[in-house]
């Protein structure tokens, strides 16, 4: 809680809101890209966590999986647009 308050004080409400909006934009791009390759989302997220039906993931990508076996990607600030595009490119090479 103290850490979250410190970040809020450092970035301010507008700054924190911009970070969240960026994460959600990347989440939406990831979902759109995956679906363009025929990889359906498992659920429609309200937050920055995208889950998809299980597919093979090309090396060297390391992803996490839900207990139900869905591919899960959390779009935090360090997962920027360039990383999303690189991942989609590699997934596309494997699943297009």
Tell me what pLDDT residue 95 has. Answer: 85
Domain range summary for the chain, segments of one domain joined by + = 23-95
Q: Is 8 helix (H, G, I), strand (E, B) or coil?
A: helix
* CATH 3.90.1150.10 holds for 23-95: yes
**Residue from 84, 93, 94 nearest 27 by CA:** 84
What is the rounded CA–CA span in Å between residue 9 and residue 75? 23
pLDDT tens-digit map of 27-78: 999 999 999 999 999 999 999 999 999 999 999 999 999 999 999 999 999 9
Confirm whether pTM is higher than 0.85: yes
Tell me what pLDDT residue 18 has. Answer: 95
**Residue from 58, 47, 41 nearest 94 by CA:** 58
Q: Residue 7's pLDDT band (boundaries 50, 70, 90)?
A: confident
């Amino acid at each position: 809680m103290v850490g979250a308050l410190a970040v809020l004080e450092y970035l301010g409400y507008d700054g924190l809101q911009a970070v969240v909006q960026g994460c959600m934009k990347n989440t939406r791009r990831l979902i759109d890209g995956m679906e363009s390759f025929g990889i359906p989302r498992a659920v429609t997220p309200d937050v920055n966590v995208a889950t998809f039906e299980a597919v093979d993931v090309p090396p060297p990508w390391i992803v996490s999986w839900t207990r139900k076996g869905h591919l899960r990607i959390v779009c935090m600030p360090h997962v920027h647009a360039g990383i999303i595009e690189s991942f989609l490119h590699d997934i596309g090479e494997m699943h297009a």
